[in-house]
Structures are given as C-alpha cells and as structure tokens.
Structure 1
Amino acid sequence: MSFMYFAYGSNMLPARLQARCSTARVIGTATAQRFELEFSKPGKDGSGKATLLDTRSQSSAIPGVLFEIDRTELKFLDRAEGAGYGYDRVDDFSITCATTGDIITATTYLASKTDPDLEPFDWYLALVLAGSHHNALHDDHQTRLRAVNHVVDTEESREGRIEALRALSEHGYSDHHSLLGRTVEDR
C-alpha cells in the first residue's frame, strides 16, 4: 500500500526525500492551484522553510513534484517534516497533474504558523532550486526562487546543512551557491 505525496520545497529533490523515505519514487509534476510559495515557516534552526499559503485566487499556482511512497514510511516523513510541531499534514490536498490535467488528492504539509520576516538559509533555498531544476519546473518558477532573499549559513557543522549539501552532491551540484545565481562576492 502506498500514498501520493506532493512536494513543493526541499523534498522535490529526490535524494533529499529518499534519504527520509527510501521507497519514494517520482510520479511526475503537479500544480497546487490558488496557492503561493513562501519561506515563512519557522524552522528549528531559526530560518524560514517553505510553505504554501492559500490565496483564494485562481491566478495563483505553485508547481511541485508528485511522489509515490510506501505507506509504512509515512511516519518517517511525518518526523522529518515535524508533523504537529510546525507543519500540519494534509491528506486531502488537491493538485492538478501536469501530464493529464486530472485533479487528484495527495498528502502534503503546510505550516501551522508563519512569520513573514523569516528568510531561508542559502543551502535550503539551493535544495528547492535544485529540485525545481531536476524536475524541469517552469523557468519563471526558478526565476522567482532565485529572487528570494536568503541568509548565508555560517555554521558549517549544522546537521541540516550537511545533509542538504550531501543531497545536492548526489545530484551533481558541488557548489550550492551556483544554484542561487549569485557568487559569494555578490552577497
């Protein structure tokens, strides 16, 4: 038995999600209608993490990646996402499948609280960009991601940073700054 999971943030990069749920496999891309992406979910590390906000506007849409995961790994995904401790798991989230146009329901996670003053760490934003690029999401989405203000994480021993850089490396990204479209000197 498996479930469908809609990723729109750092979990779009397969190596990132597969480190958490080994059975995760990409089904394709999808879109969350009436939503906007923000990095306003407070992370344990003090930075902003991705979340979707309902705009109620038909013109808003956020692309993401649809995965199929073995149901036995749902508890691992809950733990990684902090279900009940920052993110709420939504099991009936409607998305539009990119290849068929069908509206289907999937599991996703939305922030239970947001802080619009937060910014993501550089490595976290790089994960989201790498996932967007890897799954060939729209160029305009990647352009919007590159425009997101972010904070350079100077704590090189941060566990989240180390895990992120490992996932990026597995997909051939040796310099996460290059994904951001800026050099170290630009910041």
Structure 2
Amino acid sequence: MSTVNCARFMYFAFGSNLLKERLQLANPSAIFFSAGRLKDYKLNFGLWEKHAESAWHGGAATIEFCPGSEVWGVIWTLSNENLSSLDKQEGVSLGQYSPLEVSVETDQGLMLCRTYQMNNFHASPPSPQYKQVVCLGAKQNGLPVEYLKSLEAIQTNSYNGPSILDQIGTVMK
C-alpha cells in the first residue's frame, strides 16, 4: 500500500460543511477530528458577485478577519484525493472562494487547517435551508451552546423553494 493514498489534510468547516452528510456528498473520505475555534475572524454571509445565482438561494458562509472575534467550526480530515472535489465544491476555479491556511484552537492544541474565504464579498442573508444545515451541523458536532444560539439568531431571506437541503435530507433518512 502506498503512503500517498493514505495522506490526509485538515479542513476547517464553518458553514454548510459543518454537517457531515453535506460534506460527504462530494467528499466521502471526511472524518471528524475535532471542534475548534478560529480566533480573530467573524462569520458572515454573502455572495461572491452582487447578483450571483446560488445553489442555496441566498448568502453562503465566509469568514472575515476581525480582531477580537471568533468563529467555531469543525476540523475534518480528508484524503488528499478529495482536495480537488473540496476545491470544486467551494468554487475555487470559478473564483468564488480562495483557500486559506489558518491556525485553529482545539483541545489537542493549535492545528493548521485549510479553509476557504469568499472573494468579492457582497453581504446577503442566507436562505432558511442553508441556515438550517449550518445549525444542524453545529449541533451534530457539539459546538458551544452560546455559539449555536448566535447561529440560530441569524436573519434569513425567507426563501422557501427547493434547495440542496432536499438532497441532504434523503441522505440523512
């Protein structure tokens, strides 16, 4: 067995990929490693172009540098073979998000992780379905109750049509 096939990387998720079933739609090798906290960043929701069509019908999560703030999320380990599928999911080749290396605080110490930050950010509220996936993922992985309350307080755009949540729902049943 080649060690190349076993190589894995750490990925810090803070949006819809908090939910295992969402992440594993395109990245089946994802394994939970730890909850973690990213200091000096804040969570925001928006679009990468002012009038971009979104599969989620609203803003998606991103992080912004903001001294004194923090973003909680999940560190997943993924096979290096899933790096291209994760980049594709995040729209890297389309210029939607850029990969970023961040140091995330965990119970095991600081972990260097790959994460993604939206380019050309335009604030836009998330759809209720997107917010639901983020909140489900936060609960599923035991993020702090206070942080979960702040996620649940996020205002949405009230969209009520079909979304990616429909695909995830069939996986979760």
- Which TM-score band (shorter chain)? 0.7 to 0.9
Following superposition, the deviation at residue 147 of structure 1 comes to 1.2
Following superposition, the deviation at residue 166 of structure 1 comes to 3.3
Question: Is residue 103 of structure 2 the alignment partner of residue 94 of structure 1?
Answer: yes
Following superposition, the deviation at residue 169 of structure 1 comes to 5.3
Following superposition, the deviation at residue 95 of structure 1 comes to 0.8
Tell me the secondary structure at the aligned position of residue 56 of structure 1.
Answer: strand
Across the aligned residues of Structure 1 and Structure 2, the Cα RMSD in angstroms comes to 1.6
Does the 8 Å contact 2:128/2:160 carry over to 1?
no
Aligned to 1:78: 87
User: Separation in 2 of the partners of 1:44 and 1:78?
Assistant: 18
User: Separation in 1 of the partners of 2:172 and 2:158?
Assistant: 21
Gaps of 5+ in 1: 173-187
Gaps of 5+ in 2: 1-6
Aligned to 2:114: 107
Following superposition, the deviation at residue 141 of structure 1 comes to 1.1
Identity value in percent: 24
Aligned to 1:49: 60
Written as runs of structure 1 = structure 2, the 5 A alignment for 1:29-178 is 29-42=35-48, 44-45=53-54, 47-57=58-68, 60-84=69-93, 85-90=95-100, 92-97=101-106, 99-100=107-108, 102-116=109-123, 118-156=124-162, 161=163, 163-168=164-169, 170-171=171-172
User: Separation in 2 of the partners of 1:94 and 1:28?
Assistant: 13
User: Separation in 1 of the partners of 2:72 and 2:157?
Assistant: 24
Does the 8 Å contact 1:130/1:168 carry over to 2?
no
Following superposition, the deviation at residue 56 of structure 1 comes to 2.1
Tell me the secondary structure at the aligned position of residue 34 of structure 1.
Answer: strand
TM-score, structure 2 normalization: 0.86
Name whichever structure is richer in strand by fraction: 2
User: Separation in 2 of the partners of 1:143 and 1:149?
Assistant: 12
Letter in 2 for 1:167: I
Tell me the secondary structure at the aligned position of residue 67 of structure 2.
Answer: coil
